[in-house]
Structure 1
């Protein structure tokens, strides 16, 4: 459950930390009345809603990490499970970064969005694949030891 909370909160926090990636030239043209093109239209809950979402996601991420680190330190969590958690966190970071690239305003095509799909998609699949394989292997080992 903590790994899921970490996976869901990481993209939100990453996206907030990265911020809007709309280029300066596109911003100037938008200020002059040009409409920007988006590969994916940005989603907003409003100023207050966005802040609440980021605060909740940040707290969830920090608490999840703290509890997982504490569980590892007190030997309630086998340290080998970090071979699952690290790819999950990296996948969350990649999703947050990809979201910001895909939602950047542009004049014309958003080349970055295409590159994110072409390059980031396989990396994301690899990270999640590693996490799933490692989780299955560790679960199988645990079942063998327990009974």
Structure 2
């Protein structure tokens, strides 16, 4: 597999997870009242439930396809296994973003306690996951030469570095 294919599979995995989580979870409004009478921390997007479910299904297919390609590439040695230290936190961050947006846009009666807790606790966790992924990727690209990498940086060819 080429490096572009591996990068595309990683993008499919990392980009598909938040869309799948958001679309398949559905709007989390309080049952029993019409949406016009509910209070919102943030207004949800004006997207129908059917369209969101289709987008979530497509996101799930994309994420699974990306994961399959990456696992196969990792097992064959085309992808350095250390890159899972970058991909794993990004997938977790995407899952948090998809579910978190549904929590932030949930309609309820009065205060949305879940939105407040998500902002207070979720923001530092999300920042930590993102910083970990960036730092690990930077380390892999600059310092992460393995003994058997053969002049490649973390599974990605250096081409002049």
Instruction: Work out whether the TM-score is over 0.5.
Output: yes
The runs of at least 4 consecutive aligned structure 1 residues that moved more than 3 Å come to: 16-20, 142-147
The residue number in structure 1 matching 2:41 is 39
Structure 1: which 5+ runs fail to align?
Answer: none
Cα-to-partner distance string for 1:4-33 (whole Å, 9 max, x where unaligned): 2222211121224433333xxx322x15x8
The answer to which structure has the higher helix fraction is: 1
Structure 2: which 5+ runs fail to align?
Answer: 1-7, 153-160
Greater RCO (CA < 8 Å, at least 6 residues apart): 1
Counterpart CA distance in 2 for 1:39 and 1:47 is 19
Q: CA deviation at 1:42?
A: 1.6
Contact 1:13-1:57 at 8 Å conserved across structures: yes
Counterpart CA distance in 1 for 2:133 and 2:127 is 10
**What number of residue pairs does the alignment pair up?**
142
Q: 1:17 to 1:55 in 2, by over 3 A?
A: closer
Q: CA deviation at 1:139?
A: 0.7
Contact 1:39-1:102 at 8 Å conserved across structures: yes
Matched, 1:3 2:10: yes
Counterpart CA distance in 2 for 1:80 and 1:95 is 24
Q: CA deviation at 1:38?
A: 1.0
Q: CA deviation at 1:61?
A: 0.5
Matched, 1:88 2:90: yes
| Residues 107-122 of structure 1 mapped to structure 2, 5 A cutoff | 107-122=109-124
Give the stretch that moved more between structures: 132-141 or 46-55: 46-55
Q: 1:93 to 1:104 in 2, by over 3 A?
A: same
RMSD over equivalenced CA pairs, Å: 2.2
Q: CA deviation at 1:34?
A: 6.7
Matched, 1:104 2:106: yes
Give the stretch that moved more between structures: 2-11 or 131-140: 2-11
Cα-to-partner distance string for 1:89-110 (whole Å, 9 max, x where unaligned): 1001111121111111111121
